[in-house]
Amino acid sequence: MTSTVAAPGALLRGWRTRRRRSQMDLALDVGVSTRHLSFVETGRSRASRELLLDLADHLEVPLRERNALLLAAGYAPVYGETRLDDAGLDAVREALGHLLAGHEPFPALVIDRCGDVVMSNRAVGPLLRMLDPAWSRPPVNVYRLSLDPDGLAPHIRNLDQWAGHLVHRLERLTDLTGDPRLAELLAEVRAHVPDDGRAPDRTEHVVLPLHLAHPDGDLRLFSTITHFGAAWDVTLDELSVETFVPADAATRARLAAWLDPEASTARLAAVAEAQATQRPDARSSRY
């Protein structure tokens, strides 16, 4: 029969192993003896709630999993999980809306831990307009959308590199959180990338771009990801804002034209003129 007291110890040992920390190293950081930490992990000693939270903090355990650790030890969870549409998160929702709108005309979206889109700005629709409308029905998952052969994958010119980047990102997130939902998602998307894609050539790019074939012309974008810095709610702890930034002038002009049609002709003409001046004169001769 499995001891209920041993459950939190096994969880702690799992997190310590995942973070590659020794018992001595962790015990010194937290200020307890190695013997006591060993007893907690084996179930011979019952840790206080304060010690569990201190250990979880030093092991950088996500808030959802901290609650699970407390429950396993017989304590009540201390971190709430508020729905994003709850009135208590009005200020957060408004701030996210400002971030998304402020990034226009470039695409930006808010995703949860599993990559499901919970908010997006107006530029995301035009970015994906070549896809079947079924892909716009929630929940839209960025990993499935990007790697499914019926989704965005056929339109990604550097699919081998981008797929490798996304799979690596999902692997890392799965390892950091231990979330079984992410493990299932990882297995699912790997089926579309048998070799896990190709590792990005770090000598080729400072930042790996997404090179997308689009009806308006090729787009080259790189992304940045932002997290809440001091979240004390599970929902906020698991949210991230992903913004896409044009990697060249042509992409910048095309994205700007989507939300400002009146200026599109002038912008695209300027880009064409700039590109023309960069090309060698076809009539010139080396001799």
Can you give the pTM of this predicted structure? 0.83
pLDDT at 206 (0 to 100): 76
Q: What are phi and psi of 193, to 5 degrees?
A: -130, 75
pLDDT at 107 (0 to 100): 98
* Structural domains of the chain sorted by starting position, each given as residue range(s) with its CATH number in brackets: 6-72 (1.10.260.40), 87-273 (3.30.450.180)
Q: Is the pLDDT of residue 87 over 80?
A: yes
Q: Is the pLDDT of residue 283 over 50?
A: no
pLDDT at 263 (0 to 100): 54
Percent of the chain predicted with pLDDT > 90: 81
CA distance 258 to 264: 8
Identify any residues that bridge with 119 across adjacent strands, giving them in sequence order.
110
Q: Is the pLDDT of residue 282 over 50?
A: no
Q: What is the DSSP string of the chain?
A: ---TTHHHHHHHHHHHHHTT--HHHHHHHHTS-HHHHHHHHHTSSPPPHHHHHHHHHHTT--HHHHHHHHHHTT----SB---TTSGGGHHHHHHHHHHHHHHTTS-EEEE-TT-BEEEE-TTHHHHTTTS-GGGGSSSPBHHHHHH-TTTTGGGBTTHHHHHHHHHHHHHHHHHHH--HHHHHHHHHHHTT-TT------TTT-SSPPEEE--TTS-EEEEEEEEE-SS--BHHHHT-EEEEEEESSHHHHHHHHHHH-HHHHHHHHHHHHHHHHHHSPPTT----
Going by pLDDT thresholds of 50, 70 and 90, the confidence category of residue 268 is low
CA distance 53 to 58: 9
Highest mean pLDDT range out of 1-15, 116-130, 270-284? 116-130
- List pLDDT tens digits, range 189-231: 999 986 655 555 554 667 899 999 999 999 999 999 999 988 9
pLDDT at 1 (0 to 100): 42
- Per residue, the 3-state secondary structure of 156-198, as one string, reads ECCHHHHHHHHHHHHHHHHHHHCCHHHHHHHHHHHCCCCCCCC
Percent of the chain predicted with pLDDT > 70: 84
- List pLDDT tens digits, range 160-200: 999 999 999 999 999 999 999 999 999 999 999 866 555 55
Q: What are phi and psi of 222, to 5 degrees?
A: -120, 155
